[in-house]
Amino acid sequence: MKIRFLGGARTVTGSFFVVEAENTTFAVDCGMFQGDELIKERNRADYTINPAAIDFLILTHAHIDHSGLIPKLCKAGFKGKIYCSAATKDLCEVMLPDSGSIQEFEAKTFSKETGESNQPAAKPIYTVDDAYRALDHFQVLELDQMQQPWQGVELRFREAGHILGSCLVELWVDERGKKTKLVFSGDLGRPAQPFVKDPANLDEADYLVIESTYGDDLHPEVADRPEELKKIIERTMKQGGNLIIPSFAVERTQDLLFDLTILISQDRLDPGISIYIDSPLAIAATEIFKKNITFYDQETKQLIREGHHPLKLPNLKYSSSRADSMKLNEVKTGAIIISASGMCDAGRIQYHLRNNLGRSESTILFVGYQAEGTLGRQIIDGAKSVELFGKQIEVKASIEKELSYSAHADQRELLNWIGNFKSKPKKVFVVHGEEAAQQTIAKLIQAELNIPVKIPDWLEAVEL
Ligand SMILES: [Zn+2]
Ligand SMILES: [Zn+2]
């Protein structure tokens, strides 16, 4: 058996792993590369495998760095089923067409700016229609149940605790009567997060493929995260500015609403404060959260029973249309604006940054991972000025980071989770991380858990 590491290898994004076994070839995730131009070029690269030869695909969760190239794969000849959880399917139904429209927009902008319409960048990687066609391949599987997606392959989804519907993948692959168990972590979450249940502990694996986003970092211990948020809100409001939160549309936005609900339900925050969600995708994702209650953890269900639905704040305003979003340009003070993209690379957040970055009374609060090469990364790395819409803008606003919103396990949580295996994997493959994070966690897995580790290279094929 062989695993080909076609994405998420020595980088965070683009997760795409192809397993070639005796009786079948299948893939786990098919994500988009995000970050600087060099890495994004990989999204356009020709396949080094034949997509038509992949029998089926397993999708761990809806995030674009795991799902974003599915329409490209289908366009290139993939004919199989795509297995995922119910919430993942619901989320992909809005996220993939949204991504298709971004691809179309970027291609159009490229042609307009360069006047070159026959360059590869002038053609979208895939269109909205391609995304809708890809959705026909999706098939929902229940968590915690043994499934047989193919002759000689058994599959079980387990809770990953990362975002709504995220799964760990357990796979048993039979070759000539010998079973090999593979585990793919997808993105591993953390205990005690809003909405989602805690990550499941697994008993055993022959080979474990694990993410390492925060392999060299520990999330701050925050006793009372809503309180931290409250302090930032109150300080910004006192200064007469706006609080701008670049946020991922899925999970992070809803987590923020959860904390705001806690503050308001406990009379710790003025219930009249203006909260805007300015992202069509985040609004659509919030609707999907509302309907997928079965995925919620006990704490969230309890809050709802007490009459405080975390997604139904009375003072929450949705800016669905462009016109609603434009109106926010006039709001100079007193607003909490949650907008996407989370790494500030595109989308409506850029308008709010343009309006607020240069104002010392406003605050930009980062609540998520900022990949190398993104605008968000430049800002948190302390850039004195940044380019937006072709103009340099001085950074005068307060820049805050609250990484306890992370939906990823940190270094200690990764080690603890692997340490909980009752029988140790023969080998761990470290993926989905930047170089330093991967090296650090790899050393710790070897030293503390005594398990051999490999950090596969991009496009490397490893024989098991
Ligand atoms: Zn993710
Ligand atoms: Zn990811």
274 and 380 in one domain? Answer: yes
Burial of 190 (0-12, 13-18, 19+ CB in 10 A): buried
- Examine the domain organization and report whether 134 and 22 are in the same domain: yes
Helix, strand, coil content of the chain in percent (nearest 5): 35, 25, 40
Domain holding 346, by residue range, is 225-405
| CA 187 to centroid of ligand 1, rounded, Å | 5
Q: What residues are neighbours of ligand 2 (ion), with CB under 5 Å? A: 65, 187
CA of 59 relative to ligand 1 center, distance in Å: 11
What pLDDT does residue 404 have? Answer: 84
For residue 164, the one-letter residue type is L
d(CA 432, ligand 2 centre) in Å: 7
Select from 405, 427, 444 the last residue of a domain: 405
Tell me phi and psi for residue 442, to 5 degrees: -60, -45
Q: How far is the CA of 160 from the centre of ligand 2 (A)?
A: 12
CATH code where residue 392 lies:
3.40.50.10890
The Å distance, Cα 393 to ligand 1 centre, comes to 31
Distance 60 CA to ligand 1 centre (A): 9
State the Cα torsion 174-180-186-188 to the nearest 10°.
140
Cβ pair 406, 190 in contact under 8 A: yes
Could you tell me the strand order of the sheet in which 153-159 lies?
147-150, 153-159, 167-175, 178-184, 207-211, 427-431, 453-454
Q: Which of 177-186, 257-266, 364-373 has the least mean pLDDT?
A: 364-373
CA of 61 to the centre of ligand 1 (A): 7
Q: How far is the CA of 95 from the centre of ligand 2 (A)?
A: 14
- Could you give the number of structural domains in the chain? 2
Tokens linked to 113: 């700016």
* 458 shares a domain with 448: yes
- Measure Cα distances from 182 to 90, 206, 377, 417 in Å: 26, 6, 34, 16
Distance 162 CA to ligand 1 centre (A): 7
Q: Give the distance (Å) from ligand 1 centre to CA of residue 337.
A: 23
374: number of Cβ within 10 Å = 21
Residues 309 and 179 in one domain: no
The per-residue pLDDT for 282 is 95
Measured from the alpha carbon of residue 160, the closest ligand is 1
Q: How do 243-246 and 274-278 pair as beta strands?
A: unpaired
Are residues 426 and 381 part of one domain? no
Residues, CB-to-ion distance under 5 Å, ligand 1: 63, 187
Residue 318 pLDDT grade (very low, low, confident, very high; cuts 50, 70, 90):
very high
Q: State whether 390 and 423 are in the same domain.
A: no
pLDDT at 166: 98
Query: What are the DSSP E strand ranges found in 335-463?
Result: 335-339, 363-366, 385-388, 391-394, 398-401, 427-431, 453-454, 461-463
Last residue of a domain, one of 384, 405, 426: 405
Average confidence (pLDDT) over 319-344: 94
Which residues lie closer than 8 Å to 85 by C-beta, 6 or more apart? 61, 140, 141, 143, 157, 165, 166, 167, 295
pLDDT tens-digit profile of 381-409?
A: 999 999 999 999 999 999 999 878 889 99
- Residue found by looking up tokens 């995304």 in the block: 131
Strands 153-159, 385-388: pairing kind:
unpaired
pLDDT at 87: 98
In angstroms, what is the span from residue 66 Cα to ligand 2's centroid? 6
In terms of domains, do 398 and 431 share one?
no
pLDDT at residue 116, as a whole number:
87
Of the listed ligands, the closest to the CA of 432 is: 2
Q: Same domain, yes or no, for 361 and 423?
A: no
pLDDT value of residue 118: 85
Of 38, 28, 36, the closest CA to residue 8 belongs to 28
Label residue 333 by pLDDT band (50, 70, 90): very high
Q: Running DSSP on this structure, what letter comes out for residue 110?
A: H
Q: What's the confidence (pLDDT) of residue 121? A: 86
Of all ligands present, the nearest one to the C-alpha of 12 is 2
CATH number of the domain enclosing 161:
3.60.15.10
The pLDDT of residue 304: 95
Mean pLDDT within 94-102? 95
Supply the mean pLDDT for the chain. 95
Q: What is the pLDDT of residues 128-145, one digit of tens each?
A: 999 999 999 999 999 999
Residues 6+ apart with CB under 8 A from 124: 100, 103, 104, 106, 107
CA distance 78 to 191: 36
- Pair 317, 437 in one domain: no
Given 388, 405, 422, the domain boundary residue is: 405
Q: Give me the mean pLDDT over the 19-30 stretch.
A: 97
d(CA 64, CA 250): 10
111 CA to middle of ligand 1, Å? 32
339 in Cβ contact with 352 (< 8 Å): yes
Q: Do 36 and 174 lie in a common domain?
A: yes
- Evaluate if residue 222 carries a pLDDT over 80: no
Say yes or no to pLDDT of 117 above 90.
no
pLDDT in tens, 418-453: 999 999 999 999 999 999 999 999 999 999 999 999
Top-confidence residue, 121 or 9: 9
CA of 89 to the centre of ligand 1 (A): 14
Q: Which ligand is nearest to the CA of 248?
A: 1
| Same-domain status, 57 and 93 | yes
DSSP code at position 1: -
Token pair in block for residue 272: 């009249």
Same-domain pairing of 264 and 399: yes
- Chain mean position to CA 91: 12
Residue 223 — pLDDT band, cuts 50, 70, 90? confident
CB distance 418 to 449 below 8 Å: yes
* Beta partners for residue 335, in sequence order: 274
- The model's confidence at residue 120, banded by pLDDT at 50, 70 and 90, is confident
Which amino acid, 318? Y
